[in-house]
């Protein structure tokens, strides 16, 4: 059986989410913005999903804005805040492109990270000024899996720029961390369904009451004018069910997966030339449970992934960008990681089994040896 170790790219859908969605892909197809019985039936489903999502994310139902995914939620935050309150936008140097690129386009500024890939809180006082309108720092990184000091960053930013809006991309954190609690300091929070057993193409931007953010999409005025476009009813229902179960099972999932991740990382680090990122020594306290990110010296990343695929092991290099090209990652560059080693991201998930881990532990040593010998 194939070993899928790319959960940071996307996860298989939870069967319960598929089940929950099915009626809305068949006969319960009404448009929730309408007024007749079928419309009301769809609206009720969206409202119920909204309650579930609000409960899971620690916000009010009225603060949940359904989007087409993490990218739209992130873009809405970064482009939408300065349109209401002009100023400089700031994000960490290791944000996902969905935040990083908008900040770049707006001529914003970047917060540096240390060698583990953790934002340097001390730098906030230099980078954030009275002119800063938005600070965006992810809760957990998608490449190296490091958890960020959001509360400290938010506090330091608000000291420098009272009234600054704080956004956190919690897309990668949601499968592993208590977002309801950890994202409390943020005014805006992004979530994506397909990273936690839900469908692709649906996500959430939490917009806390009183937060000013211009909509990215305008038109029919859905989501109380914050996001126009006919609701993806089935997607929203699937997101709610996947998120509900993720939160319910989180403790057990983290415990199980973390132990396997540690066994995997410890085992692979015994291979000559293999080191782990995002850690100091073997302290993985700053990483989400599913993340195993390695540097492999003396091999080519593409060959490494190719040979792993021959063994039916699916992993990725840095992150899954649309081009699939193995370009040097801005995250590793910001961490000061030299570009000469190949990076290998093995990301575990709720459906990972111990035999997936065993498969990698058996397959990788000879592959690395072979490639290093060929170099
Ligand atoms: N933010 C982070 C941290 C991610 O890992 C991803 C996933 O690729 C996104 C945003 C984008 O989310 P989506 O794929 O739903 O657009």
Ligand 1 atom with minimal separation from the 71 CA: 16
Instruction: Tally Cβ neighbours within 10 Å of residue 354.
Output: 12
Q: What residues are paired with 275 via a beta bridge?
A: 295
Joined together, the tokens standing for residue 327 give: 């370009």
Residue with CA at minimum distance from ligand 1 atom 8:
9
- CA neighbor of 131 nearest in space, from 97, 98, 171, 88: 88
Residue 269 is a catalytic residue:
no
Checking DSSP bridges between strand 291-296 and strand 342-347, what pairing results, if any? antiparallel
Answer yes or no: is the C-beta of 235 below 6 A from any ligand 1 atom. Answer: no
Query: Quick one: which H or E segment has residue 72?
Result: helix 70-84
Q: How far is the CA of 259 from the centre of ligand 1 (A)?
A: 26
Give the separation between CA 24 and CA 239, rounded to whole angstroms. 13
Q: How far is the CA of 221 from the centre of ligand 1 (A)?
A: 25
One pLDDT digit (tens) per residue for the chain, 375 residues: 899 999 999 999 999 999 999 999 999 999 999 999 999 999 999 999 999 999 999 999 999 999 999 999 999 999 999 999 999 999 999 999 999 999 999 999 999 999 999 999 999 999 999 999 999 999 999 999 999 999 999 999 999 999 999 999 999 999 999 999 999 999 999 999 999 999 999 999 999 999 999 999 999 999 999 999 999 999 999 999 999 999 999 999 999 999 999 999 999 999 999 999 988 767 898 999 999 999 999 999 999 999 999 999 999 986 544 445 567 799 999 999 988 889 999 999 999 999 999 999 999 999 999 999 876
Answer yes or no: is the C-beta of 96 below 6 A from any ligand 1 atom. Answer: yes
Answer yes or no: is the C-beta of 204 below 6 A from any ligand 1 atom. Answer: no
């Amino acid at each position: 059986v194939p070993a899928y170790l790319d959960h940071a790219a996307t996860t298989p859908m939870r069967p319960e989410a598929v089940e929950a969605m099915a009626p809305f892909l068949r006969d319960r197809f009404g448009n929730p913005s309408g007024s007749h019985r079928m419309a009301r039936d769809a609206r009720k489903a969206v409202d119920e999903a909204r309650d579930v999502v609000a409960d899971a994310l620690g916000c009010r139902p009225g603060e949940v804005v359904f989007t087409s995914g993490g990218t739209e939620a992130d873009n809405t935050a970064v482009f939408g805040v300065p349109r209401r309150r002009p100023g400089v936008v700031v994000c960490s140097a290791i944000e996902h492109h969905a935040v990083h690129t908008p900040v770049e386009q707006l001529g914003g500024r970047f917060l540096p990270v240390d060698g583990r890939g953790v934002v340097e809180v001390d730098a906030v006082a230099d980078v954030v000024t009275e002119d800063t309108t938005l600070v965006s720092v992810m809760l957990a990184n998608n490449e190296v899996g490091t958890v960020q000091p959001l509360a400290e960053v938010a506090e330091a930013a608000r000291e420098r720029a009272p009234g600054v809006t704080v956004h956190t991309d919690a897309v990668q954190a949601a499968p592993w961390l208590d977002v309801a609690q950890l994202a409390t300091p943020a005014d805006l929070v992004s979530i994506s369904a397909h990273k936690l057993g839900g469908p692709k193409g649906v996500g959430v931007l939490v917009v806390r009451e009183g937060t000013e953010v211009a909509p990215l999409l305008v038109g029919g005025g859905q989501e109380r004018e914050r996001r126009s476009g006919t609701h993806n009813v089935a997607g929203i229902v699937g997101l709610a069910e996947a998120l509900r179960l993720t939160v319910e099972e989180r403790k057990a999932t983290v415990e199980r997966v973390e132990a396997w991740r540690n066994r995997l990382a410890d085992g692979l680090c015994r291979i000559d030339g293999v080191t782990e990122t995002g850690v100091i020594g073997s302290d993985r306290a700053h990483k989400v449970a599913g993340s195993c990110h390695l540097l492999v010296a003396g091999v080519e990343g593409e060959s490494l992934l190719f040979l792993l695929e021959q063994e039916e092991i699916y992993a990725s290099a840095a992150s899954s960008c649309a081009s699939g090209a193995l370009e040097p990652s801005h995250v590793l560059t910001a961490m000061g990681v030299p570009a000469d080693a190949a990076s290998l991201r093995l990301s575990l998930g709720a459906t990972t089994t111990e035999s997936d881990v065993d498969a990698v532990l058996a397959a990788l040593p000879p592959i690395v040896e072979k490639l290093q010998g060929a170099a």
